[in-house]
Amino acid sequence: MSAFLLCFAAWSAIALGMDRHHEDATGREGAARHLQQLRRAGWLLLLLSLWLAARSTGSTPASLGVAAWAVALSVAAVAVTATVTWQPRRAPLLAGVALAAGLAAWAWGW
């Protein structure tokens, strides 16, 4: 669960770091530096989610975690694409909620 939520937040940050999606979501143009920071934060979140998924626990091998992460990565990409296409104004809120819920889910071991 945490992998999907963190991937959703990461893809949202990457998408909102693009001129077109940022303007659709916020109603105004973003500064180039701000957009670049959003994209970097998105990539860092993807790396964090991969690292969390690849850590092997006593009962789950790392390879299974990476496979589950790949599925979460793909499903989250489709979900973010749908969000920025049909409900762009909700994308920033959903990204923030996904980030908070993803970190909470990771802390609780989900």
CA atoms within 13 A on the CB side of 68: 19
Report in angstroms the alpha-carbon separations of 68 from 15, 59, 79: 23, 15, 16
**pLDDT by residue (tens digit) across 67-109?**
999 999 999 999 999 999 999 999 999 999 999 999 999 999 8
Percent of the chain with pLDDT over 90: 82
User: Alpha-carbon Rg of the chain, whole angstroms?
Assistant: 14
Residue 56 has what pLDDT? 67
Instruction: Check residue 18 and give its pLDDT.
Output: 96
